[in-house]
DNA sequence: TGAAATGTTGGGGCG
DNA sequence: ACGCCCCAACATTTC
């Protein structure tokens, strides 16, 4: 049984998928696989909504393939072990997958490539989840950018030269013909989550600049999880955009900016990008952190956001900034705590963006907000949810005595934050 | 992609 | 008509 193997990872679609379309041209029938990686899953609960989403996305692909006599082969366990099993079972000629830039994934893929090379198997990997990857947008001296504005300028100038061609529709007849059952959630030891990924909504493109700051209005695209798991291609999103929404495009460039930051400076994973802030003394009060997580700080704008996150796996962008600022500046809790909580809850969690944006809010990032920028949770409410539609939606008890008093007084907290940062910088 | 403090300007009321 | 004061609105600086 001679095959080419295509490995689905975070590109869970058949359409406009670079490595897949190359695999289908490899000259051998393509056996598509997916591996539920225990190294990653061990950190998650068995009903994590992201697992449910991955499972359902694979199921959809599998249904399409079955019409053509094929199916996806699903593994669960250690990826390298899965590959060794595959090598025992099939005569593998070529292997195709798309690039993944996260530290763990890089290491995993390097090990696999070594293993394949040792067995004399060709492997090919492709840029697919970004327009420009790690070393494609560099300064004239060949070094990576660490300032967004400069990165963006270069990105745009290169983008004008680049054609974003759509891949032709895949020929499903070229998949390897075989039949094995698609495992149930229970067989994989998962349970279905009540929290669901929503379909994306591209109709907001073009008006994003007007609606993006109003959390009560549904002017978000809900693209995050789809870009994270590749159920839509970034090229397709960009094509729809056609530069008509500069602000939205900017957000997509931030995504690639943070990806290349993580790639070039992997230490940001657990360290401040700017060492200047290493000596800030965080208060890290567990009970205050818990109140923040539960949406019980007594500040409606903050609490509404945290409850939306907990109940749905989403949080409006404006509110993400305000809640992050509140945790870091008002409560003086280490940004890594907030980063970890968002990583656990956000359906669109992406290591590079989550880390980059938390460091931005903390002022510790490469191109971050200045440390003295402290969001006023009351002003934010007045500015962006004056009618209180958003906060009432997420805090039903808001006008009852059940709703708590503010955990801390704003002006005093602000002064304390400025003082703490100043002291920390001096210690350095 | 902030907020608060401080500075400046200009219009209106009033003696 | 003029100076003076008040204050809102806007601009600039500072954290």
Quick one: which residue's CA is nearest to C15's C1'?
Answer: A372
Q: How far is the CA of A146 from the C1' of C12 (A)?
A: 29
A426 touches strand C (CB under 7 A): no
Query: Are A207 and A93 found together in one domain?
Result: no
Angle (CA) A251 A242 A315, round 5°: 30
Average pLDDT, rounded, for chain A? 95
**CATH number for the domain including A417?**
1.10.579.10
Q: How far is the CA of A363 from the C1' of C11 (A)?
A: 26
Q: How far is the CA of A371 from the C1' of C15 (A)?
A: 9
Average pLDDT over residues A69-85: 98
For the CA atoms of A150, A154, A157, A161, what is the dihedral angle to 10 degrees?
A: -170
Give the pLDDT confidence of A282-297 residue by residue, as tens digits.
Answer: 999 999 999 999 999 9
A410 touches strand B (CB under 7 A): yes
Look at the block and give the residue holding tokens 């700017």.
A274
In a domain, A175, yes or no: no
A370 touches strand C (CB under 7 A): yes
Query: Are A119 and A141 found together in one domain?
Result: no
> Considering only CA atoms, which of A74, A19, A40, A14 is closest in space to residue A349?
A40
pLDDT of A165:
74
Give the pLDDT confidence of A320-361 residue by residue, as tens digits.
Answer: 999 999 999 999 999 999 999 999 999 999 999 999 999 999
Query: Are A322 and A222 found together in one domain?
Result: no
In a domain, A174, yes or no: no
In a domain, A233, yes or no: yes
Query: Are A373 and A421 found together in one domain?
Result: yes
Distance CA A426, CA A279 (A): 9
Query: Are A259 and A309 found together in one domain?
Result: no
Angle (CA) A287 A290 A296, round 5°: 105
End-to-end CA distance of chain A: 63
Query: Are A355 and A253 found together in one domain?
Result: no
Structure tokens at A268: 């940001």
A120 touches strand C (CB under 7 A): no
Residue partners of A133: CB distance under 8 A and separation at least 6: A99, A101, A127, A256, A259, A260
Strand partners, A255: none
Tell me if A329 sits within 8 A of A363, measured CB to CB: no
Query: Are A349 and A363 found together in one domain?
Result: yes
Using the predicted structure, report yes or no on whether residue A47 has a pLDDT greater than 80: yes
Which nucleotides of chain B have an atom under 7 angstroms from any protein CB?
1-4
In a domain, A194, yes or no: no
Using the predicted structure, report yes or no on whether residue A162 has a pLDDT greater than 80: no
Which nucleotides of chain C have an atom under 7 angstroms from any protein CB?
15
Domain hosting A44: range is 2-128
Give the pLDDT confidence of A88-112 residue by residue, as tens digits.
Answer: 999 999 999 999 999 999 999 999 9
In a domain, A311, yes or no: yes
> Considering only CA atoms, which of A186, A228, A183 is closest in space to residue A13?
A228
Distance CA A352, CA A259 (A): 5
Look at the block and give the residue holding tokens 């809640």.
A323
In a domain, A173, yes or no: no
Domains of chain A: total: 3
Percent residues over pLDDT 70 in chain A = 99
Distance CA A283, CA A342 (A): 20
Average pLDDT over residues A24-35: 98
The pLDDT confidence band at residue A243, using thresholds 50, 70 and 90, is low
Chain center to CA of A108: 19
Instruction: Write down which residues 250-279 in A have CB closer than 7 A to strand B.
Output: 250-251, 254
Query: Are A136 and A89 found together in one domain?
Result: no
Angle (CA) A207 A249 A128, round 5°: 130
Nucleotide nearest to A247 (CA to C1'): B1
A318 touches strand B (CB under 7 A): yes
Question: Which stretch of DSSP H or E encloses residue A305?
Answer: helix A300-312
Provide DSSP, A101-122.
-SHHHHHHHHHHHHHHHHTT-E
A344 touches strand B (CB under 7 A): no
Tell me the C-alpha to C-alpha distance, in Å, between residue A145 and each of A178, A365, A366. Answer: 48, 13, 10
Nucleotide nearest to A378 (CA to C1'): B3
In a domain, A121, yes or no: yes
A359 touches strand B (CB under 7 A): no
**CATH number for the domain including A244?**
1.25.40.80
Q: How far is the CA of A417 from the C1' of B12 (A)?
A: 43
Structure tokens at A275: 């060492």
Distance CA A221, CA A206 (A): 11
A418 touches strand C (CB under 7 A): yes
A379 touches strand B (CB under 7 A): yes
Query: Are A119 and A236 found together in one domain?
Result: no
Distance CA A177, CA A66 (A): 9
Query: Are A40 and A54 found together in one domain?
Result: yes
**CATH number for the domain including A99?**
3.40.50.620
């Amino acid at each position: 049984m001679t095959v080419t193997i295509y490995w689905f990872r975070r590109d869970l679609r058949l359409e406009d998928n670079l490595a897949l379309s190359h695999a289908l041209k490899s000259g051998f029938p393509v056996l598509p696989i997916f591996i539920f990686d225990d190294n990653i899953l061990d950190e998650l609960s068995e009903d994590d909504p992201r697992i449910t989403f991955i499972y359902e996305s694979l199921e959809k692909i599998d249904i399409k393939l079955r019409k053509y006599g094929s199916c996806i082969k699903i593994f669960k366990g250690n990826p390298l072990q899965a590959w060794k099993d595959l090598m025992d079972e099939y005569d593998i000629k070529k292997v195709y997958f798309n690039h993944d830039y996260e530290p763990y994934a890089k290491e995993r893929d390097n090990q696999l490539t070594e293993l394949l090379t040792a067995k004399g198997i060709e492997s090919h990997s492709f840029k697919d989840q970004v327009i420009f990857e790690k070393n494609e947008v560099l300064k004239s001296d060949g070094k990576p950018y660490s300032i967004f504005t400069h990165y963006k300028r270069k990105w745009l100038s290169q983008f004008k030269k680049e054609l974003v061609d759509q891949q032709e529709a895949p020929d499903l007849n070229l998949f390897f013909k075989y039949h094995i059952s698609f495992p149930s959630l229970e067989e994989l030891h998962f349970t279905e989550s009540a929290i669901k990924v929503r379909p994306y909504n591209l109709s907001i493109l073009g008006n994003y600049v007007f609606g993006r700051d109003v959390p009560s209005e549904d002017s978000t695209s809900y693209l995050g999880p789809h870009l994270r798991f590749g159920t839509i291609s970034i090229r397709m999103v960009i094509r729809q955009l056609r530069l008509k929404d500069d602000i939205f495009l900017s957000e997509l460039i931030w995504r690639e900016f943070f990806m290349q930051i993580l790639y070039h400076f992997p230490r940001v994973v657990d360290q401040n990008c700017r060492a200047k802030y290493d000596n800030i003394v965080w208060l890290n009060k567990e009970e205050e952190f818990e109140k923040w997580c539960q949406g019980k700080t007594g500040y409606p704008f903050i609490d509404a956001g945290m409850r939306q996150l907990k109940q749905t796996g989403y949080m409006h962008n404006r509110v993400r900034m305000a809640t992050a600022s509140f945790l870091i500046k008002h409560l003086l809790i280490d940004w890594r705590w907030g980063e970890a909580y968002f990583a656990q809850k956000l359906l669109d969690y992406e290591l590079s963006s989550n880390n980059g944006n938390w460091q931005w809010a903390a002022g510790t990032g490469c191109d971050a907000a200045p440390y003295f920028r402290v969001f006023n949770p009351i002003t934010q409410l007045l500015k962006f949810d004056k009618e209180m539609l958003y906060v009432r939606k997420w805090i039903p008890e808001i006008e009852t005595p059940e709703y708590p008093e503010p955990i801390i007084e704003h002006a005093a907290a602000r002064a304390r934050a400025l003082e703490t940062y100043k002291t920390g910088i001096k210690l350095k």
